[in-house]
Amino acid sequence: MKILDLGCGNNKKSGATGIDYNPSSAADIIHNLDTFPYPLENDLFDDVLAHNILEHVADVPKVMGEIWRSAKNGATVEIISPFPSSRWLHADPTHRRAFISKTLDFFIPGKDFYGNLPTLAKFELIEVTYQKDSCSWWDALLLKLANRFKDHYESYFMYSYQVHAIRFNLKVIK
């Protein structure tokens, strides 16, 4: 099983092929993720990890296209990114954006925004969940409610009850 760890930094998953712009990172491939195409073969990876990287790139649709191109049909993709209410979003001056539950709908057939971007990238949404750094019993209950009622949470409560990250599990469709 081949794994791509996009923007791996020094936390590259064991056994994965890491790609990062930083020569001091644990990456196997040093490459600026804002320069396209990536030096990766087509249809190579079974799994792609993009943990805390998409908030740094200039062109998310192009990066999603590179993930799609380099992954096999049916590959799993896990994306973790800061949520708008996260204090971590604002702590890093290189963050360009946050993600909400509908951010990747542009790449998911059947969603309202699908087809509004000039890209071939297509994914199936398996799951999207909010994450919090620590959870008391109270937090666990509120997090469960937020995850169950995402539209309501994002419309009315995301700045009242803060979560730190959002995780997307996707499957590549070719």
The pLDDT confidence band at residue 54, using thresholds 50, 70 and 90, is: very high
> Is pTM, for the whole model, over 0.75?
yes
Tokens of 72: 């096999």
pLDDT tens figures, 18-28:
999 999 999 99
In whole angstroms, give the CA distance from residue 36 to residue 66: 8
Residue 26 burial (10 A CB sphere; 0-12, 13-18, 19+): middle
Tokens of 8: 């791996």
pLDDT tens figures, 78-136:
999 999 999 889 999 999 999 999 999 999 999 999 988 889 999 999 999 999 987 78
In whole angstroms, give the CA distance from residue 14 to residue 113: 36
- Say if residues 81 and 6 touch (Cβ distance below 8 Å): no
Q: Is the pLDDT of residue 61 over 80?
A: yes
pLDDT tens figures, 127-169:
999 999 877 888 899 999 999 999 999 999 999 999 999 999 9
| pLDDT score of 87 | 87
Least confident range from 8-17, 61-70, 128-137: namely: 128-137
In whole angstroms, give the CA distance from residue 65 to residue 119: 7
Domains and CATH numbers, the chain: 3-133+164-172 (3.40.50.150)
| pLDDT score of 31 | 98
